[in-house]
Structures are given as structure tokens and as C-alpha cells.
Amino acid sequence: MHTTAAIAREAHGDFTVEPVDLAEPRAGEVRVRIAGVGLCHTDLIARDQFIPIPLPAVLGHEGAGFVEAVGEGVTKVAVGDRVVLGFSSCGHCPRCEEHLPSYCREFPVLNYAGARGDGSTAISIDGTPVSANFFGQSSFAAHAVTHERNLVRIEAHDVPLELLGPLGCGFQTGAGGVMRSLACPAGSSIAIFGGGPVGLAAVMGAVVQACVTIILVEPFAARRAMALELGATHVIDPAEGDVGAAIRAILPDGVEFAFETSGREAVVETALASLSSHGLLGLVGVPPRPESSLSINLASLITYGHRIHGIVEGDSDLQTFIPQLVGLYREGRFPFDKLIRTYPLAQINEAVAAQLSGECIKAVLVP
């Protein structure tokens, strides 16, 4: 069929919105009419070749929409179903069998390669294949062909489907990082570094977990204000001085948990230094360079029993955690819609600029 997609043609360049051809779904695949797709930092680092997907490419991995067609053997969804599109996983490796699909043995190949396992792609322009299958979906488009396993059916019809796509990555990463990966217990303390979509989802997750002290470190004033509205107990502007000292002024012994979303080495080191004895640091931020590394004092790490946990997708099991977040939203306990501003897909470059400048927190593109 003919449809429309946003194409990444060069690193650091603008997206171009163009007509494309989309193949019919194969066995195990599903075609979804996209109602909305979140704009995520991961899409931009793929465009800019930190993730070296071949260009040109159709990116996008936070889609939500309606099932339009199913391939042979599909039983999980039917035409007309409302769905959120998540990441790809194999379903049979040890981590998948432990319900930790974001640590799937095949995760890089299934999500970053830009093609199916046989090297084919469902998207072409004038007969020439274009990289697709990004996170198994490539949803910067009016339609996407995805895999049955990627899909989560949304039973609740009273939630705005076009806003649900970010639950498939950014929001589940932040919320899941606190609720699942760190599993912060009630009454605990946490410092969250970065108040973008992932960091603010972490704030909401910390509120759900009943953390008693929730500190957000964020340079943008509007995002600090949003964190307080969402339930943070303290906010810190890193431009005002020593962040570590500011955290210790609130809790002299340090925080039990820290959650770092920027990927910047100096911020990670500050987060680690803010921990109390036996504290746990969760890392979700993509570093600025593939070779980025940390300098860690091993004696201090051992003496204070500090722990570091790398986190992918908030340790989420799509089929259970996304419905849990939808349920929390319906109860008014996970108001992620406060973070979202919608843009037409044709204005994707304006949305990128607005999100990078801090003008909006989370852009959702509506075809």
C-alpha cells in the first residue's frame, strides 16, 4: 500500500516527510494505522548514527494505533484492536523466558539493524528498500508493519490512544526503572538526574512507590516546576552550584537510590557520590560517545557497598507493565499526558527543535 513516513536521510539533518510503499504483513506480522508516535532521544541518536542503522531510514519506536491487517498465523490481535507498539524480543532466550525481554539475547539485531532477520524491509521508495523495522516497528509513519510479539492490546477505550505510544519506551523506561529495576520501597529516598520524559516518568514512578524523598536535578525551570506538580519533594538547579552538596543538605547521609537519565559522565559520577551506604544507582542515559567511560574509586565502592545497575526499557515486560501504567493513568496516579504536546507528523522537525530546547517535554507526532 501507499502511505507517508518521515525519512532520516543524513546524520544531524532534517527529516523529510515523503510517500512510501509499505509491503503487506508477512506471517507473524501486523499492519497498524498509527494514531500517534512519541519522539524519543533514541530516534535522534539513530539518525545521527550513534546507533549505526543504514540511512535512509524510517525510525520511530513509540507508536500506538489500530490494527488494520494481520499476517498468517497471527492470533494475539485482530483487525480493529487498539494497540501500543513496543520493542522486539525473540521470546525464547533465557532472559525472555524470565520475563525480561529488554535483555533479550537478540535485542540489538532485532531492534537496531534496520531490517528483518532475512535482510528484507517492509518499506521502499520507488522500488528501492529503505531501512525500517526500527525496534520492530518504524512508526514515524501513517502506517507500520510490526511483529505480533511487539504489540500490547489496550482494552480501555476511555484513554486517548494517540498519547499512549510513549508507554512503549520512554515512559516505561522511567517508571519501570524506579518501580521494577530499582524497586524502591515505600519510605525510601531517591535522586533523579534529568527532568526530561524519562526523568519525569521516574518521578511519577517514585510517587507510585511511595518514596518519601524525591529529588529532581534539572536545569530547565519549567521541568522542575512540573516535577513538583507531579509529586517531587525537592528540585535542584545544577546551575546554582554543587549538586552533591545540595543533595547532602537535604539528606546528610545521601539517598538510597539514584536514577541517571543524561548519560553524561560527570553527572553519573555525581549521582554515584550522592548515594548513602549500600545505595543503588540506576543508569538509563545514553552516553555522548560509544567509548564513554567512568572513573570509579574501587575502595570507596567496596567500603560503602554502592551498586550500579544498567537499565534497558525499565526491565519492562510489555504485556504486564504497559497495562499496569494504563491502569495507573486511569486512576489519576500516572498523569503522563501532562508531559505531552502533539504535533502533526509533517512538523517533525519543529517537534525535534521544541523538545531539544526544552519548549516541550514530550512531543507526540500525529499522522
Same domain, 34 and 132: yes
**Within-domain flag for 208:** yes
Q: Is residue 330 part of a domain?
A: no
Residue 302: CB atoms within 10 Å = 9
Distances in Å between the alpha carbon of 130 and those of 27, 60, 120, 122, 234? 21, 14, 9, 8, 47
pLDDT of residue 354: 96
**Does pTM surpass 0.75?**
yes
Q: What is the pLDDT of residue 109?
A: 95
On whether both 51 and 148 belong to a single domain, the answer is yes
- Say whether both 137 and 21 belong to one domain: yes
Query: Do both 12 and 124 map to the same domain?
Result: yes
Three cell numbers written together for 150: 511487539
Identify the pLDDT of residue 30.
98
Q: How does DSSP classify residue 178?
A: I
- Residue 93 CB neighbours (<10 A): 16
Do 153 and 201 reside in the same domain of the chain?
no
Residue 329 lies in a domain: no
CATH of the domain at 251: 3.40.50.720
Residue 54 covered by a domain = yes
Q: What is the residue-level pLDDT of the chain in tens, covering all 367 positions? A: 999 999 999 999 999 999 999 999 999 999 999 999 999 999 999 999 999 999 999 999 999 999 999 999 999 999 999 999 999 999 999 999 999 999 999 999 999 999 999 999 999 999 999 999 999 999 999 999 999 999 999 999 999 999 999 999 999 999 999 999 999 999 999 999 999 999 999 999 999 999 999 999 999 999 999 999 999 999 999 999 999 999 999 999 999 999 999 999 999 999 999 999 999 999 999 888 888 888 888 999 999 999 999 999 999 999 999 999 999 999 999 999 999 999 999 999 999 999 999 999 999 999 9
Name the residue among 182, 181, 229, 223 with its Cα closest to residue 199. 223
- The pLDDT score that the predictor gives to residue 291 is 82
> What is the model's pLDDT at position 288?
82
Residues 127 and 220 in one domain: no
58 and 8 in a common domain:
yes
The enclosing domain of 47 has a CATH number of 3.90.180.10
Residue 114's pLDDT is 96
H or E stretch covering 209: none
Q: Determine the Cα–Cα distance for residues 221 and 162; give it in Å rounded to an integer.
A: 28
User: Residue 140: its pLDDT value, please?
Assistant: 98
pLDDT of residue 100: 96
328 located within any domain: no
Residues 24, 128, single domain; the answer is: yes
- Inside any domain, residue 320: no
Please report, as a single letter, which amino acid is at residue 29. Answer: E
Residue 243 lies in a domain: yes
Residues 257, 117: one domain?
no
Range of the domain at 31: 2-168+335-366
Same domain membership, residue 200 and residue 58: no
DSSP letter for 268, please: H
Q: Would you say residue 325 lies in a domain?
A: no
What is the count of structural domains for the chain? 2
Domain co-membership, 179 together with 253: yes
DSSP state of 331: T
Same domain assignment for residues 121 and 7: yes
Cis peptide before 54 (omega within 30 of 0): no
